[in-house]
Amino acid sequence: MANKKITSRDLDFAKWYTDVVMAAKLASYTNVKGCIAIEPNGYAIWEKMQEILDKKFKELGHVNVQMPLLIPENLMKKEGELVEGFAPEVAWVTMGGKKELEERLCIRPTSETMFSDYYATHVKSYKDLPMLYNQWCNVLRWEKETRPFLRSREFLWQEGHTIHATKEEAELETKQMMDVYKWFHHEILAIPSITGLKTEKEKFAGAEYTLTNEALMYNGVSLQAGTSHYFGQKFSKAYDIKFQNKENKEEYVYQTSWGTTTRMIGALIMVHSDDNGLVLPPKIAPRQVVIIPIGESEEVKTLSEKINKELQENNITSYIDNTDKSPGFKFAEAEVNGIPVRIEIGERDLNNGVITFARRDTGLKISVSKDIQVVSYTKELLDTIQKDMYNKALERRNNLTFTAKNLDEVKEIMANQPGFIHADWCGSSECEMKMKEINGIKSRCILKDEKLITGKCVVCEKEATDHVVWGIQY
Amino acid sequence: MANKKITSRDLDFAKWYTDVVMAAKLASYTNVKGCIAIEPNGYAIWEKMQEILDKKFKELGHVNVQMPLLIPENLMKKEGELVEGFAPEVAWVTMGGKKELEERLCIRPTSETMFSDYYATHVKSYKDLPMLYNQWCNVLRWEKETRPFLRSREFLWQEGHTIHATKEEAELETKQMMDVYKWFHHEILAIPSITGLKTEKEKFAGAEYTLTNEALMYNGVSLQAGTSHYFGQKFSKAYDIKFQNKENKEEYVYQTSWGTTTRMIGALIMVHSDDNGLVLPPKIAPRQVVIIPIGESEEVKTLSEKINKELQENNITSYIDNTDKSPGFKFAEAEVNGIPVRIEIGERDLNNGVITFARRDTGLKISVSKDIQVVSYTKELLDTIQKDMYNKALERRNNLTFTAKNLDEVKEIMANQPGFIHADWCGSSECEMKMKEINGIKSRCILKDEKLITGKCVVCEKEATDHVVWGIQY
């Protein structure tokens, strides 16, 4: 039985999406245009994401810092491509207190500028390198059309900025962090993502190249889910970040940056959720198990508390819903909030010696003996859910993955159902622009390790250089 | 032997302070006027503060959210006192992309506005109450004179904002959170703070009353270290935050807010640190123990690793300094960074069957058998350091605490050495202003539970109503 507050996903995907965000109380609109309030249920998911990623970053030697929010215009302008890429979409502070500022300041859309300016005065010798910094913060981009989590003027993210003594080391870092994001998507978010290289047109402003993870949503639309940029010496030359190398010569550092954002909450919704609300993979769910006592008996109460205690002691995040709502209401609430497992403990069931486990992802209800080894059973069930959710997402992505040999085939696919379209490309931006004329298709990424399909560009049908994944995007 | 990069504390306290910040690599200046970069060593302390406070907040039922950074001017103006209090010191965004905005937006100096606007549309019934929200974020105040951590245009903080169905409950929350901060200062930061009530003149703009914790720095200057505000229905009336009470009548909610900031890093320095650099209480130190191997022998290496492993397994944050610097250099570095305990493991010592523990706070070196129960010994030592540091700070505060019966006595105290001055007050703001003429003395807080000293106002010598603590402030 679908949640009445939620539009059917197959009827109106966009409406369904915002309905889920609101019904699960992840975020709400505010009186600040284009900016959302991230509510407790949404923020708890972000905290979990932060906890997992932050631990991984630190294991790999990164440390956290905090750079200023505001960037003086002249400092920003030092790297030409960056300012060109971001200038149309930044917010400008022009007044401090009651005074007009001599130089306006932009609110950071990204912090290459501030990190580069910092590194320029803090690195002297190869012994200081690498410097592996990351920051968790808010950034602002003056978007015209916004949608909760997916695109909003202000969003939260982490941005890693590292400098290295050699090109090789910096390129390894770029690759390594892409692998971290891929691991995070696959293992934690249960989202299969494709890793590849952005085209010149789609890469980050100022980067030598950009690696990207691309995920496919339920409706066949792509979502860029974490990028990692190799800057070479572009920023170090613009900001004068030099060091004494082992041969005692001055050299410019090699630089990277990489980031992922609160839009991953949007991806979780659009990959896994359904007409009953949020569905969360157990590894990212802030609360994994809800226990719902049915009836007032002492036995129900005692067993509920015993199970809750055992689960918590074994690092499963469980809670008992002891509110005075009806069981049906509690079921629906746990469902809309995406709690992966619901344990129902009722008098009648107990008389028959059983309790009930319900899976949020499939809706399956399982009666088990009330004397079951509840910790190991629950752990196994959570693992199964995690794996099943990944496989389901992978199957859906495979079903929405197509290949095309020419523009007619691309049009035919798009007329039917968007998705990932694999097609060869000659490398020219003219052909990229022509693809865009079809429903706004963009190159998602180049798969450098994949063989060509036909050897001919899908647009101009001349000789192709790359196997590219194409799609429409959020 | 004092660190050469650090000015003597007794010679020039202000210079000493910034020298410690720089030498311990806690923060550095940036090309954004009035804004600092918080570096890894500084940010690690903030992370530790966040971890400890966040856990406590959550135990008390609070949840984290994130409200927008930008506040539309008209929304801000709804509560008159708040806007008057903060308008002179906010930064204004007037352009988005290339367009002038129709309504300018201020960067949050504090978020009563956004929380109130949110609550107004999210609370309906007494069943929704209390709502106990907190956010960790950056805020901006357009300060003219800045100093790393103590006062900078942008700083990091947490701001709790709660709404309640009754006055009693809201006032209990205001008090409770003050107690949390006091616990945090005393138990974690080893800083004795005084809790009291702000005068009308010094209270938060828009609050009915403000509770404050006031700490005294090494040089006798006061620092406001966490405040908790009771708003009554001021904001709920201005922002129309109503609920259906148990009697089915509409009522305005009762509201609180409370916050503490990165300036507590400044307090840690100014209470505990010395001419050799940072001194950190073990409970807030990101790294509690450094192990320094001296010499190359296998025995030194093996024992260093064994001890490090054992400490880490018992939740003591230790590390081995295996860099190729000299032992003397390593000692100095651990010292300037404020690592509470240093374990020296050297060949010559091992031949005598001993290793050396050195305390950062006192400089004391202790030779102990190499076969000591290292975990329990270290734990006990860390506990002792924590207690000793608190007691030392308390003793210093007591030595810098004075009482005054009249203005002449106040002047005499200030001519000699500033500190906390206890003196009675008649309650008039004229007398408060007259105190300010003496070196800028302000009321720190009213001690409601303390008896009057003389019964006469220290300024006008008329009948006094309150026992007040006075002092100069950062």
Name the residue of chain A whose CA is nearest to B44's CA.
A64
Distances A148 to A14, A31, B117, B204, B254 between C-alpha atoms, Å: 11, 14, 18, 33, 30
Name the residue of chain A whose CA is nearest to B93's CA.
A93
- Yes or no, beta carbons of B65 and A44 under 8 Å apart: no
pLDDT at B85 over 90: no
Co-location of A93 and A47 in the same domain:
yes
d(CA B328, CA A134): 31
DSSP character at residue B66: B
Co-location of A93 and A227 in the same domain:
yes
Name the residue of chain A whose CA is nearest to B155's CA.
A68
Co-location of B86 and B128 in the same domain:
yes
The answer for A 372-431 residues in CB contact with B (under 8 A) is none
- Yes or no, beta carbons of B47 and A65 under 8 Å apart: no
Mutate to test the interface with B, among A22, A28, A33 (most CBs of B within 10 A): A33
d(CA B111, CA B106): 11
Element spanning B21, H or E: helix B13-23
Q: pLDDT tens track of chain A, all 474 residues?
A: 567 889 999 999 999 999 999 999 999 999 999 999 999 999 999 999 999 999 999 999 999 999 999 999 999 999 888 888 888 899 999 999 889 999 999 999 999 999 999 999 999 999 999 999 999 999 999 999 999 999 999 999 999 999 999 999 999 999 999 999 999 999 999 999 999 999 999 999 899 999 999 999 999 999 999 999 999 999 999 999 999 999 999 999 999 999 999 999 999 999 999 999 999 999 999 999 999 999 989 999 999 999 999 999 999 999 999 998 999 999 999 999 999 999 999 999 999 999 999 999 999 999 999 999 999 999 999 999 999 999 999 999 999 999 999 999 999 999 999 999 999 999 999 999 999 999 999 999 999 999 999 999 999 999 999 999 999 999
| Residue A339, domain member (yes or no) | yes
Residues B447, B212 contacting (CB under 8 angstroms) = no
Co-location of B48 and B139 in the same domain:
yes
- Other Cβ atoms less than 10 A from the Cβ of B248: the count is 8
Domain extent, residue A36, equals 13-272
Identity of the residue in A44, A69, A94 whose CB atom sits nearest the CB atom of B138: A69
At A357, list the tokens: 């486990």
Output the pLDDT for position A83: 84
- Other Cβ atoms less than 10 A from the Cβ of A13: the count is 16
d(CA B21, CA B25): 6
Mutate to test the interface with B, among A28, A55, A67 (most CBs of B within 10 A): A67
- Give the N- to C-terminal CA distance of chain A in Å, as an integer: 29
d(CA B29, CA A286): 38
DSSP character at residue B188: I
- Chain B residues inside the 8 Å CB shell of A36: 68
| Residue B461, domain member (yes or no) | yes
pLDDT at B82 over 80: yes
The answer for B 57-76 residues in CB contact with A (under 8 A) is 63-72, 75
pLDDT band at B15 (very low <50, low <70, confident <90, very high): very high
Nearest to B92 by CA among A96, A301, A140: A96
| Residue B283, domain member (yes or no) | no
What is chain B's alpha carbon radius of gyration, rounded to the nearest angstrom?
Answer: 25
d(CA B323, CA A419): 52
Co-location of A200 and A61 in the same domain:
yes
Co-location of A422 and A380 in the same domain:
no
DSSP character at residue B109: S
- Yes or no, beta carbons of B97 and A142 under 8 Å apart: yes
**How close A158 gets to chain B, by Cα (Å)?**
14
Mutate to test the interface with A, among B30, B116, B134 (most CBs of A within 10 A): B30
Chain A contact for B32, CB < 8 A?
A: yes
- Specify the residue for token string 């990623």: A53
Identity of the residue in B65, B69, B122 whose CB atom sits nearest the CB atom of A138: B69
List the alpha helices (DSSP H) in B163-315: 167-183, 234-239, 263-272, 298-313
Residues B104, B94 contacting (CB under 8 angstroms) = yes
Chain B contact for A299, CB < 8 A?
A: no
**How close A311 gets to chain B, by Cα (Å)?**
18
d(CA B314, CA B34): 42
Amino acid letter, A246: K
Output the pLDDT for position B1: 54
| Burial status of residue A369 (CB atoms within 10 A of its CB: 0-12, 13-18, 19 or more) | exposed
- Yes or no, beta carbons of A37 and B68 under 8 Å apart: yes
Element spanning B200, H or E: none
Examine the fold and report which residue of B382, B409, B439 is the final residue of a domain before the chain moves on: B382
Identity of the residue in A68, A94, A154 whose CB atom sits nearest the CB atom of B68: A154
Chain A contact for B47, CB < 8 A?
A: yes
Co-location of A174 and A67 in the same domain:
yes
Chain A contact for B103, CB < 8 A?
A: no
Co-location of A413 and A339 in the same domain:
no
- Chain B residues inside the 8 Å CB shell of A92: 93-96
| Residue A6, domain member (yes or no) | no
B390-400: average pLDDT? 98
3-state per-residue secondary structure call for chain A:
CCCCCCCCCCCCHHHHHHHHHHHCCCEEECCCCCCEEECHHHHHHHHHHHHHHHHHHHHCCCEECECCCEEEHHHHCCCHHHHHHHHHHCEEEEEECCEEEEEEEEECCCCHHHHHHHHHHHCCEHHHCCEEEEEEEEEECCCCCCECCCECCEEEEEEEEEEECCHHHHHHHHHHHHHHHHHHHHHHCCCCEEEEECCCCCCCCCCCEEEEEEEECCCCCEEEEEEEEEEECHHHHHHCCEEECCCCCEEECEEEEEEEECHHHHHHHHHHCECCECCCCCCCCCCCEEEEEECCCHHHHHHHHHHHHHHHHCCCCEEECCCCCCHHHHHHHHHHCCCCEEEEEEHHHHHCCEEEEEECCCCCEEEEECCCCHHHHHHHHHHHHHHHHHHHHHHHHHHCEEECCCHHHHHHHHHHCCCEEEEEECCCHHHHHHHHCCCCCEEEEECCCCCCCCCECCCCCCECCEEEEEECEC
pLDDT at B426 over 90: yes
Q: Which residues pair with A135 in a beta bridge?
A: A159
d(CA A370, CA A377): 12
| Residue B58, domain member (yes or no) | yes
- Yes or no, beta carbons of B97 and A104 under 8 Å apart: no
> Can you give the pTM of this predicted structure?
0.97
Percent of chain B topping pLDDT 90: 95
d(CA B55, CA B158): 13
Examine the fold and report which residue of B328, B347, B382 is the final residue of a domain before the chain moves on: B382
| Residue B392, domain member (yes or no) | no
CATH number at residue B84: 3.30.930.10
What domain count does chain B have?
Answer: 3
Co-location of B304 and B412 in the same domain:
no
- Chain B residues inside the 8 Å CB shell of A118: 28, 30, 37
Q: Provide the number of CB pairs (under 8 Å) joining chain A to chain B.
A: 152
| Residue B280, domain member (yes or no) | no
**How close B464 gets to chain A, by Cα (Å)?**
38
Identity of the residue in B38, B105, B138 whose CB atom sits nearest the CB atom of A65: B38
Distances B389 to B181, B240, B359, B402 between C-alpha atoms, Å: 18, 48, 11, 22
| Burial status of residue A460 (CB atoms within 10 A of its CB: 0-12, 13-18, 19 or more) | middle
Chain B contact for A324, CB < 8 A?
A: no
- Yes or no, beta carbons of A96 and B142 under 8 Å apart: yes
Co-location of B145 and B248 in the same domain:
yes
Distances A257 to A110, A195, A235, B230 between C-alpha atoms, Å: 10, 16, 11, 44
| Burial status of residue B98 (CB atoms within 10 A of its CB: 0-12, 13-18, 19 or more) | exposed
Chain A contact for B39, CB < 8 A?
A: yes
Task: Provide the 3-class DSSP secondary structure of residue B160.
Answer: strand
- Yes or no, beta carbons of A140 and B69 under 8 Å apart: yes
- Yes or no, beta carbons of B40 and A65 under 8 Å apart: yes
DSSP character at residue B141: -
Residues A276, A2 contacting (CB under 8 angstroms) = yes
- Yes or no, beta carbons of B69 and A107 under 8 Å apart: yes
pLDDT at B379 over 60: yes
Distance of CA B54 to the CA centre of its chain: 14
| Residue B75, domain member (yes or no) | yes
Chain B contact for A38, CB < 8 A?
A: yes
**How close A26 gets to chain B, by Cα (Å)?**
10
Q: Which residues pair with B320 in a beta bridge?
A: B291
pLDDT at B253 over 60: yes
Nearest to A246 by CA among A125, A330, A134, A160: A125
Q: Are strands B36-38 and A36-38 parallel, antiparallel or unpaired?
A: unpaired
Output the pLDDT for position B83: 84
Chain B contact for A43, CB < 8 A?
A: yes
B407-428: average pLDDT? 96
Chain B contact for A30, CB < 8 A?
A: yes
- Chain B residues inside the 8 Å CB shell of A111: none
Examine the fold and report which residue of A362, A387, A412 is the final residue of a domain before the chain moves on: A387
Identity of the residue in B32, B63, B92 whose CB atom sits nearest the CB atom of A72: B32
Distances B35 to A107, A198, A461, B155, B273 between C-alpha atoms, Å: 13, 35, 55, 8, 23
CATH number at residue A301: 3.40.50.800
Identity of the residue in A90, A94, A118 whose CB atom sits nearest the CB atom of B92: A94
Co-location of A382 and A405 in the same domain:
no
- Yes or no, beta carbons of B37 and A67 under 8 Å apart: yes
Distances A441 to A263, A411, A414 between C-alpha atoms, Å: 21, 10, 9
Co-location of B295 and B219 in the same domain:
no
- Chain A residues inside the 8 Å CB shell of B62: none
Per-residue model confidence as pLDDT tens digits over B147-200: 999 999 999 999 999 999 999 999 999 999 999 999 999 999 999 999 999 999
Element spanning B70, H or E: strand B70-72
Identity of the residue in B46, B88, B93 whose CB atom sits nearest the CB atom of A92: B93
Chain A contact for B98, CB < 8 A?
A: yes
- Chain A residues inside the 8 Å CB shell of B43: 63-66
Half-sphere exposure of A140 (CA within 13 A, CB side): 25
**How close A433 gets to chain B, by Cα (Å)?**
25
d(CA B192, CA B389): 10
Output the pLDDT for position A1: 54
Cis peptide before A130 (omega within 30 of 0): yes
Q: Are strands A131-140 and B131-140 parallel, antiparallel or unpaired?
A: unpaired
Mutate to test the interface with B, among A28, A41, A65 (most CBs of B within 10 A): A65
Q: Which long-range contacts (CB under 8 A, 24 or more apart) does B364-373 make?
A: B370/B303
Distances B156 to B163, B181, B203, B454 between C-alpha atoms, Å: 23, 16, 21, 42
B375-403: average pLDDT? 98
Per-residue model confidence as pLDDT tens digits over B255-302: 999 999 999 999 999 999 999 999 999 999 999 999 999 998 999 999
